[in-house]
Chain A
């Protein structure tokens, strides 16, 4: 793997090479353990949920591996481009096989891949686990908007294309999302959560979010869903538990008041302020 590896006198150098290769293997894993403080972000951010942070660390681990291997290969390519240019009409040594070297660059990638898989499984098992929780939000995607229902509270938030709906959820609490679609495939994606999931017709997708900080985050449909796909936004507002409870109460009261009003005025009862018309 290093310049002299192809030379006929490769034998004595083998111990040094092996040491270096071990560093190469251990480095990403060690970095994964240390991740967070001094390791570069590689373009990603830790995000605002517990799993977004572990995804971020996994991202850093993968990136370190990719940068190390990528740099190694680029250096090898550039080296041969510079130093093995055609200088004369002479025919170089026709080396075709170097079995130990070939085995090395078969076995080491296998080990790296197994390491990446192990790290993946650790993060994945945490991310797809669905612990029991009392906070449940039913999210329904439709062309082209979102409907957030808080079962047991009589609260529904709907919005489409021109006005983006906001999903309110409490901080530091497991929030179960029940994701469905009423027409085509949509994608529930919140960038700050480093997470996305398809909303599929006929399938109930469940996952758990646990926000670690309050704030307002942008969400969007990521899977092409027709004409107004580019306009299918929503927001996620993460609030404290107290704020969440008072928000629920006020929404429920408002919904009840409106329901009463529309029942008296029009005979058409709807707790949905702007009932979406499917396009």
Chain B
């Protein structure tokens, strides 16, 4: 966990320094804002990982001497197959086509999206059981 945090935080610090130099030197706002956004995007998960890395025991994947058996067991529970990603993909497709062929396509698009979101959430709550 510590290395992950370090990678993200050092990227964030580098972007912050770079942005300070750039913004003060160029006085161009678009780039300055975009690099700030990048900086924050590195700090957000970086600080989260850093915070956790100080409060948790090293995981087996952070331990250079871990044995394979230490990681055995359940990692997570997911539906083995699911139709909802496909449904949601088609819903997004229809909604994007609404940008081109007319607003009326938003009606089936939003309907499909709603259906897919409800379906996928339900699937998760049942632990993947249909």
Q: Do A and B touch, yes or no (CB under 8 Å, in the complex)?
A: no
A residues with a Cβ closer than 8 A to B are none
